[in-house]
Every structure is written in structure tokens, then in C-alpha cells.
Amino acid sequence: MRIFAIGRNYAEHISELNNERPDEPVIFTKPDTALIRKNAPFYYPTISKDIHYEVELVLRICKEGKAIEEKFAHKYYDSIGIGIDFTARDLQQKAKEKGLPWDIAKGFNGSAPVSDTFHPVSNFKDLHNINFKLEVDGVVKQEGNTSHMLFNFDYIVSYLSNFFTLKTGDLIFTGTPKGVGPVALGNRLSAYIENEKLLEFEVK
């Protein structure tokens, strides 16, 4: 199982971090040791003093494929969940300044809490109009809608599959909307698709 992630996929989030709008999806990966399931707590790591939450919809790959044409991409993912792309913003900033890779800023232990529940794609009326949000201690911090993605699910799956053979069970984080910010010890994070809470855990 691999975890792929797309950076800079929502225009207003690109602006808040003063990033350039990409011509193609920005891709990075996290190792499987980043994954947290079952609403287990996130333990604030000692490697950073500025861990940010980024709530994202997560696709699950259901069929092996490579060089998938965009028009067939929908056959390769069958369900959608929600996760947090935890980012060590201080380490990422240093890496960006030096043009170095993001691995340690994005892939550290526990950097990918993901909901246990994934809803079948067929449950959604329109994949281009899915609302999702993040609350921290009951206060809404991020709200997104898939209509604002620069690159939609089919494009992302097709694009990724040109570089990496996608396998059943792989997860794809599809980008975060605006509103990212730091977490602190004791915070309780709750992530929703539409109005259903699918993920909830504490920062310890």
C-alpha cells in the first residue's frame, strides 16, 4: 500500500502560502508508517515546532493500472474517505527555500490520519460537488468543495499512473482547501464529508 498526495490543488490554498499555480499536479508520497487509523491520537513529534493540519479527500484505488487514460480513470478508484495531510511547515519551508525534497516535512510518523469509513463513489451524486470540512475543538477551520480543485480525481489518477503503477489499496490525498493552520497539544480534530463526521482524534 502506498500513499500518494497532491499539493497545490485548490487555488485559494495556493495563494495563502504564496505558492505558484502549477501546470501539472504537484506529487509527493508518504510511507505506510505515516498512516493512522481507528481515530488513534496523533502524537506531536519532536522534529518540528510548526505542524499544520491539511484536511483532504482521499481516494482508494481498487484495481491495478498504469498509463491509465483519463476517460477510464474512474474505473480505478471505488471509494472516498477523508484524511489529514499533516505537514511540518517549518521543515517544508526550509526545503522549499533550498529546492530540496519534502519527504521529512510530509512523511514523518503519523502524518496521515485517515478515516476508517470510505464511501463508495456510487453514493455521491456528483464528484465535482462534494463538500468537506475540518473542525478543531468544534470550530470550523477549513471548508472545501471539489468543484474548486485545479485537477479533478480522474485527471489525478491518470496523471499519477504515468509514473507509478497504481495498486489496489493505494490511497491518494487529493489536496487541501484554504484555512490550513497549526495544531497544538490537546486539540481535537474532526473531519467531515458533507455533514457526516468520518474522522476524529486528539493531538497528544
85 near Mg ion, judged by CB under 5 A: yes
Three-state SS string over 7-52 comes to: ECCEHHHHHHCCCCCCCCCEEEEECHHHEECCCCCECCCCCCCCEE
- Beta pairing partners, 60: 79, 171
Using alpha carbons, select from 28, 42, 61, 167 the residue that is nearest to residue 114. Answer: 42
Q: Which stretch binds Mg ion (CB under 5 A): 48-56, 97-105, 109-117, 190-198?
A: 48-56
**Part of the chain binding Mg ion (CB under 5 A), chosen from 33-41, 54-62, 140-148, 160-168:** 54-62
CB of 7 to Mg ion, least distance (A): 6
Number of other CB atoms surrounding residue 101 within 10 Å: 11
Handedness of CA 159, 163, 164, 166 (dihedral sign): positive
The least CB distance from residue 128 to Mg ion, in Å, is: 20
Per rule CB under 5 A, count of chain residues that contact Mg ion: 3
Which window, 10-18, 22-30, 37-45, 78-86, contacts Mg ion (CB under 5 A)?
A: 78-86
**Quick one: which of 3, 4, 51, 54 contacts Mg ion (CB under 5 A)?**
54
176 touches Mg ion by CB under 5 A: yes
